Structure 1
Amino acid sequence: MPPFRKSLAALLLLMGGTGAVMGQVLEAPNVVPIDQMLVTSGQPSRAALGSLRQQGFEAVLYLAPSSVPDAIADEPKILAEQGIEFVHIPIPFGKPQEGHFVAVSEALQRLKGKKVLVHCQVNMRASSMVFLYRTITGGQDPGNAYESVSKVWSPHGPWRSLLQTQLKKHGINFEPY
């Protein structure tokens, strides 16, 4: 079974001052906790979206176009009812661009200090953009940051090109492939 479909629910063991209940499950494909304040995943279920506040989330970045088949049309409303900020940066899967990375980085910078879920359909867009953010904006070690991507997939095609181009542009010598 491909790694990006291996799990429909992942256990999040979230500690600290996040307001989360220890051991709650986020029902979504490929949940990858980055740290206590940042999680990436595929599309959460409607029920999972409805319980994000209980898990301490304060903002959600959604990176797939709202026209994808598994999108939850009323996701913004479900989140707003919980007081969770919703940021939509639709990235066409076959055409990720530098502007998308800039928009994701700006949003994550603005939301710094809040617990954020970054998701798309299966966590390919989200894991890749968060990797770039962590390495370029956050100055984290690219090898360590890339581990969260490799749990989901190995970027290829336009995604591989985007990662390589952005890393090179920012003087980061890293070849994850």
Structure 2
Amino acid sequence: MSQHPSSVLLNGINISEILNVQKIHDNLYSSGQPTVQQLELICQAGVSTVVNLALNDADNSLIRQHIYEDRAVLELGMHYIHLPILWDCPSASQALFALKAIHHLQDQLVWIHCADNWRASSLMYLYRRFYMKMPIEQADELLHQVWEPDETWTGLINAVAMQLQAEQFNY
């Protein structure tokens, strides 16, 4: 399901090798777990804030390799925000909180990631639809470039979409 982009540049730096990388807009990118070397590239490209949606789960070997991501990001001079969302039972209120936090950072160059870019791309689908006003079909296509959400994550997406629609209706 995931596609490896031919070339993704961020301020002239090739970031194509980062797992499931996607440009959301000029100030927002998402991916799977970057390595320390990839975090260095992200920093060189001008990213000011890294948002991690994955848990620091000792059972996940990918995360275990990067358990000190917070230190690496901070030592590179970037800001680090950890907003973990459970994989098996994601919370709509936590997802909504993460979306609002990311939207609040819209004037900064932000990198949002999780282990495989499945959590992050699900939230970025919602971000594209409700904050960027992207047509559903286009947002669907971009989400499906990364993964096909299962029943749990489809339910989360629908629950958060209903909340965001209600908020927009109330304005």
- Relative to the length of structure 1, the TM-score reads 0.81
Q: Which ranges of structure 1 fall in alignment gaps of 5 or more residues?
A: 15-19, 173-177
**1:148 corresponds to:** 142
1:107 deviates by 1.6
Equivalent in 90, 95, 98 of residue 101 of structure 1: 95
Once residues 77 and 136 of structure 2 are traced to their aligned partners in structure 1, the CA distance between those partners, rounded to angstroms, is 33
Corresponding position: 1:13 with 2:9: yes
Q: Secondary structure at the residue paired with 1:70? A: helix
* Aligned alpha-carbon RMSD (Å): 2.1
Q: How does 1:7-156 map to 2 (within 5 A)?
A: 7=4, 11-14=7-10, 20=11, 22-67=12-57, 68-71=60-63, 72-156=66-150
1:110 deviates by 2.3
Identity %: 27
Q: Secondary structure at the residue paired with 1:101? A: helix
**Matched residue count:** 162
Once residues 80 and 23 of structure 1 are traced to their aligned partners in structure 2, the CA distance between those partners, rounded to angstroms, is 21
Which residue identity is paired with 1:78? Answer: A
Which residue identity is paired with 2:101? Answer: A
Runs of 4+ in 1 over 4 A off after TM superposition: none
Contact 2:33 2:114 survives alignment (8 Å): yes
Relative contact order higher in (CA < 8 Å, ≥ 6 apart): 2
Q: Which ranges of structure 2 fall in alignment gaps of 5 or more residues?
A: 167-171
Which residue identity is paired with 1:143? Answer: E
1:145 deviates by 2.3
- Relative to the length of structure 2, the TM-score reads 0.84
1:10 deviates by 6.3
Contact 1:26 1:44 survives alignment (8 Å): no
